[in-house]
């Protein structure tokens, strides 16, 4: 059996600029960091001549083309894998609507695992490219490219999204020891809370795509978010966690305007609690009004902030220089 894992990610700023409807006009830019939390995929050769795919439901079929799960079907197709397989997945967070890039982490883990099963080795860049091909072109998901690249490369990264569809990757901090120090600082200052509100991420992103295609004002908002991403990069390099927190809040407020979330009474209430706390700042991860709230604050203020957000479930997430891993058992 092969077990393949790929990390989830936190996007600090620049979300939306990885959508083709934006970077077709001007360069996109995001800053991300991987989490210890991951998506895990188990792959084994089937004893019987059938595919068995276990996720929120169980599929059994004798034909690859009849597999209902679009990502599984597309990954097997793009890699040219014709063997009958048993595939099961588990994640350290809810599989949909988390804002942590679960779908792309699943795609990266599955691609890496199937490739390993076939005796192939994929570079992080190729892994990300294939994941984008699967999700965006084959499965027609209205999503951007940062999640696939963030999961495939792992660690703390910067990504530039070019008008010719290419993506340029640079490590934020090339020195492993210095990156480890930054990760430790982020973990000392980070709090995460779960906002258990169902949301359809694809519908939200489709609306965002339409706005970016049709409205100059929407593109101007994302352009200002790209500027915040560049500032966030500098804060991370300098270890300026307080400055980073303020930029997170600024970016979240812009994204609320872009998505219309500023009309949500619940979101306005959470933002007010954040602004009146001792936190440096924070943001809702992903698109919409549910998922995970990410807050940066001094350690001595964590208890007071947790009490302020007592209506939300606090969860323990950790940043880590986490890369995709495949192992045989």
pLDDT in tens, 252-281: 999 888 877 666 778 889 999 999 999 999
Instruction: Name residue, tokens 């007010």.
Output: 272
Could you name the CATH architecture of 178-315?
2-Layer Sandwich (3.30)
> What is the model's pTM?
0.94
For 2-174, which CATH class? alpha beta
Q: pLDDT (tens digit, 9 = 90+) per residue, 153-196?
A: 999 999 999 999 999 999 999 899 999 999 999 999 999 999 98
- DSSP conformation letters of 197-217: ----HHHHHHHHHHHHHH-HH
Residue 59 gets which letter from DSSP? E
Q: What is the pLDDT along the chain (329 residues), one digit of tens a residue?
A: 999 999 999 999 999 999 998 999 899 999 999 999 999 999 999 999 999 999 989 999 999 999 999 999 999 999 999 999 999 999 999 877 788 999 999 999 999 999 999 999 999 999 999 999 999 999 999 899 999 999 999 999 999 999 999 999 999 998 999 999 999 999 999 999 999 876 556 666 666 666 666 667 888 899 999 999 999 999 999 999 999 999 999 999 998 888 776 667 788 899 999 999 999 999 999 766 678 999 999 999 999 999 999 999 999 999 999 999 999 98
SS (HEC) of 286-310: CCCCCEEEEEECCHHHHHHHHHHCC
pLDDT at 267: 85
Tokens, residue 228 = 């915040």
The residues spanned by each domain of the chain are 2-174, 178-315
Q: What sections of 44-88 are H helices per DSSP?
A: 70-79
């Amino acid at each position: 059996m092969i077990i393949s894992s790929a990390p989830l990610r936190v996007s600090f700023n620049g979300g939306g600029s990885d959508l083709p409807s934006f970077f077709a006009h001007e360069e996109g830019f995001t800053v991300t960091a991987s989490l210890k939390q991951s998506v895990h995929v188990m792959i084994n050769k089937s004893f019987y001549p059938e595919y068995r795919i276990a996720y929120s439901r169980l599929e059994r079929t004798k034909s690859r083309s009849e597999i209902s799960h679009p990502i599984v079907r597309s990954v097997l197709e793009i890699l040219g894998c014709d063997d009958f397989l048993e595939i099961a997945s588990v994640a350290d967070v809810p599989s949909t609507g988390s804002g942590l890039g679960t779908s792309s982490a699943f795609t990266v883990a599955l691609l890496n695992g199937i490739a390993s099963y076939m005796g192939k080795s994929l570079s992080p860049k190729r892994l990300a490219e294939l994941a984008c091909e699967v999700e965006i072109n084959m499965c027609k998901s209205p999503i951007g490219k940062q999640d696939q690249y963030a999961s495939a490369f792992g660690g703390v990264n910067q990504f530039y999204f070019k008008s010719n569809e290419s993506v340029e990757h640079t490590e934020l901090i090339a020195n492993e020891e210095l990156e480890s120090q930054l990760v430790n600082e982020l973990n000392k200052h980070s709090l995460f809370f779960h906002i258990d509100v169902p949301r359809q991420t694809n519908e939200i992103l489709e609306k965002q795509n339409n706005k970016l295609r049709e409205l100059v004002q929407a593109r101007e908002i994302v352009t200002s978010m790209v500027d915040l991403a560049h500032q966030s990069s500098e804060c991370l390099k300098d270890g300026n966690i307080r400055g980073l927190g303020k930029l997170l809040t600024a970016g979240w407020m812009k994204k609320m305007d872009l998505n219309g979330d500023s009309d949500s009474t619940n979101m306005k209430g959470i933002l007010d609690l954040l602004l009146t706390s001792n936190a440096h700042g924070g943001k809702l991860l992903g698109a919409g009004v549910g998922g995970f709230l990410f807050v940066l604050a001094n350690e001595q203020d964590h208890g007071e902030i947790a009490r302020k957000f007592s209506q939300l479930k606090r969860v323990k997430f950790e940043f880590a220089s986490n890369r995709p891993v495949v192992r045989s058992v």
